[in-house]
């Protein structure tokens, strides 16, 4: 058995086309064009690529994009000042601070200063808390994108055993909440988890996001499982790979996301969906 590839690039293009249609309809109805402000601090190459891709997606979808590229020496106070300025700007619907930030800046403090209804990344504790109590406002982009992929491929998590490897605030924890809302039985694995291979082997739906190349071995995968690989790692030869041993895993899984072209495009599509939602909240 060779797994069906879950084409995140294709699904993301479909979602972006719907965003573009909604933006066009807003213009026809005399409503303002959604506006996303993106802040990049420093010159991390991967972050620069992500920011450029977000700008391109905004252009294709008709969303206005504001870019703030700050030097790595920017102080926390200066960055907070910019966030406050954008909070107060009625023409800005969404604010995104590209992570990671330089080590001298407290990322959590910055994220908590973004107004929850402008927090299009969905990282503010208010938004994570609303997700936990089944009242989502802004849903974290990558976990929501994963749920969109599952729905697009007819995978219903209800009653399934879902295992998440990685417990970060960006992916693992909110992904657990998303799957709980979908009525899956959820296990979250982390650095203190014992018998990881057994936990992975029990998963009907496996989501992996640890940032370690080929960390989850293909032989661990339950035959017929759905595998969502959130990781994206650049190897010494310049090629990209995920956190799951892809070649071996695809011979056991029923469906699997490739890297690249799986979850990554969905994160950007969801960001723009959130920006549109933020604009609707501001109307």
pLDDT for 238 equals 86
Could you tell me if 47 and 107 lie in one domain?
yes
Q: Is 144 a catalytic residue?
A: no
SS3 for 132-165 is HCCCCCCCCHHHHHHHHHHHHCCCCCCCCEEEEE
Q: Judge if 176 and 101 occupy the same domain.
A: no
pLDDT block averages, 10 residues each, the chain of length 283: 94 98 97 97 87 93 97 98 98 96 97 98 97 96 98 98 97 98 98 97 98 97 98 91 97 97 96 98 89
Do the domain assignments include residue 23? no
What pLDDT is recorded for position 11?
98
Catalytic residue check, 121 = yes
Q: Tell me, yes or no, if 54 is annotated catalytic.
A: yes
Closest to 92 (Cα-Cα) out of 55, 120, 59, 56: 120
pLDDT at 23: 98
pLDDT at 283: 85
Residue 10 falls within a domain, yes or no? no
Residue 283 domain-assigned (yes or no): no
pLDDT digits (tens, 9 = 90+) for 98-115: 999 999 999 999 999 999
Looking at 98, 118, 119, 204, which residue is catalytic?
A: 98
pLDDT of residue 72: 96
Q: Are residues 111 and 67 in the same domain?
A: yes
Residue 259 within any structural domain of the chain? yes
Q: Is 28 annotated as a binding residue?
A: no
DSSP 105: S
Annotated binding-site residue? 167: yes
Catalytic residue, chosen from 93, 119, 121, 243, is 121
Residue 81 lies in a domain: yes
How many domains does the chain contain in total? 2
CA dihedral (12, 13, 14, 20) in degrees, to 10, reads 110
Residue 274 lies in a domain: no
Q: Which of these is catalytic: 54, 118, 144, 250?
A: 54
Q: Give residue 50's domain range.
A: 31-115
Q: Is 11 annotated as a binding residue?
A: no
What tokens does 163 get? 């295992």
Does 75 fall in a domain? yes
What's the CATH number where 79 sits? 3.40.50.10860
| CA nearest to 57, candidates 282, 278, 266 | 266
The pTM of the full predicted model, rounded to 2 decimals, is 0.96
């Amino acid at each position: 058995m060779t797994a069906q590839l879950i084409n995140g690039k294709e699904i993301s293009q479909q979602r972006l086309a719907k965003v573009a249609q909604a933006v066009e309809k807003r213009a026809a109805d005399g409503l303002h064009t959604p506006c996303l402000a993106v802040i990049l601090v420093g010159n991390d190459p991967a972050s620069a690529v992500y920011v450029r891709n977000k700008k391109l997606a905004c252009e294709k979808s008709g969303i206005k994009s504001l870019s703030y590229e700050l030097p790595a020496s920017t102080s926390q106070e200066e960055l907070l000042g910019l966030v406050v300025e954008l909070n107060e700007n009625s023409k800005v619907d969404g604010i995104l601070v590209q992570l990671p930030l330089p080590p001298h800046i407290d990322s959590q403090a910055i994220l908590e200063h973004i107004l929850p209804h402008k927090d299009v990344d969905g990282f503010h504790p208010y938004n994570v808390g609303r997700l936990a109590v089944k009242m989502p406002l802004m849903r974290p982009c990558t976990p929501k994108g994963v749920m969109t992929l599952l729905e697009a491929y007819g995978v219903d998590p209800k009653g399934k055993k879902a295992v998440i490897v990685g417990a970060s605030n960006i992916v693992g924890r909110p992904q657990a909440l998303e799957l709980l809302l979908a009525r899956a039985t959820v296990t979250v694995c982390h650095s203190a988890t014992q018998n990881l291979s057994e936990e992975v082997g029990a998963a009907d739906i496996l989501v992996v996001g640890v940032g370690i190349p080929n960390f989850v071995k293909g032989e661990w995968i339950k035959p017929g499982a759905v595998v969502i690989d959130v990781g994206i790692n650049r190897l010494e030869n310049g090629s990209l790979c995920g956190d799951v041993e892809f070649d071996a895993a695809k011979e056991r899984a029923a469906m699997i996301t490739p890297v690249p072209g799986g979850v990554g495009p969905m994160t950007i599509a969801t960001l723009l969906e959130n920006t549109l939602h933020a604009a609707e909240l501001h109307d």
